[in-house]
Amino acid sequence: MHIIYHCVGGAHSSAIASAIHLSLLPKTRVATGREILSIPYFDNVSAGQYGCIIHRGIDEYGNNIYTLSRQFSGKLITRALEDLALILTGDENRVVFVNVSPAVNTVMKIGGFLSRRLHFISLGRPIVVWGSRRAYMDIVDVVSRTKKKVQTGQNPKK
């Protein structure tokens, strides 16, 4: 199975979700700022990677985990990719798209905008880390629900 965590920028909430899924970050407590910053791809997505599905690793069940920066075309992009996956695999459960955006708070949006869009990294990164820590357990919930359904062979979107 292929699990694709997506959000607007692909640099923060989906990066954290994929790292939690791959056990690179804790599931039972809020990660420290240092732990979040230790993710090599946190706050590190360039404009050239927008729209690219980036492989982040393989989980304990053999599922491939990816992130996607889908910008502001979430429903359009994921609908097209879901249809393409169904055409190519014949199975709607082989590729799963997980929207992490509902877990994103305003502080993350401000920090991400400063860091990624305006390139004020030294200002934006600490803000987005602080916001990420506040949203962390919500992101854990997204990942936990996804893993639970995937383990039983269900598509988390259903």
Q: Is the pTM of this model over 0.85?
A: yes
pLDDT in tens, 22-46: 999 999 999 999 999 999 899 988 8
pLDDT in tens, 88-144: 888 777 889 999 999 999 999 999 999 988 999 999 999 999 999 999 999 999 999
In a domain, 156, yes or no: no
Quote the number of domains for the chain.
1
In a domain, 92, yes or no: yes
In a domain, 69, yes or no: yes
97 CB contacts (<8 Å, ≥6 apart)?
Answer: 4, 6, 68, 78, 81, 82, 157
In a domain, 119, yes or no: no
At 151 the pLDDT is 82
Nearest to 42 by CA among 19, 66, 71: 19
In a domain, 98, yes or no: yes
In a domain, 34, yes or no: yes
Nearest to 56 by CA among 48, 64, 46, 44: 64
Q: Quote the domain boundaries for residue 144.
A: 2-102+136-151
pLDDT in tens, 43-88: 988 878 887 899 999 999 999 999 999 877 767 787 788 888 888 8
In a domain, 51, yes or no: yes
In a domain, 124, yes or no: no
